[in-house]
Amino acid sequence: NPLQGAQFVLAAHRIHQLPADEGAEVAFAGRSNAGKSSALNALTGQKALARTSKTPGRTQQMVAFSLPVTVHDEMSQAAPVRLIDLPGYGYAKVPEALREHWRHEIDAYLHQRRSLRGVVLIADIRHPMKEFDRMMLEFCFGTLLPCHVLLTKADKLSRNQAQQALAAVRKQLDASTPVTAQIFSSSEGTGVEEARDAVMRMLHG
Ligand code: GDP
**ipTM score of the complex?**
0.99
Cα-to-centroid distance, 31 and ligand 1 (Å): 11
Q: Render pLDDT for 52-74 as a digit per residue (tens, 0 to 9).
A: 655 555 557 899 999 999 999 88
Alpha helices in the chain (DSSP H): 36-44, 96-112, 131-143, 159-172, 192-204
Protein residues whose CB sits closer than 6 Å to any atom of ligand 1: 30, 32-38, 52-54, 56, 88, 152-153, 155-156, 185-187
pTM of structure? 0.95
Collect all residues with Cβ–Cβ distance below 8 Å to 25 and sequence separation of at least 6. 64, 81, 82, 83, 84, 113, 115, 116, 117, 203
CATH at residue 27 = 3.40.50.300
* Structural domains counted in the chain: 1
Residues 84-109 have pLDDT tens digits of 999 888 766 778 888 888 888 998 99
Ligand 1 atom closest to residue 40's alpha carbon, by position in its atom list: 7
Query: What's the domain range around 67?
Result: 2-204
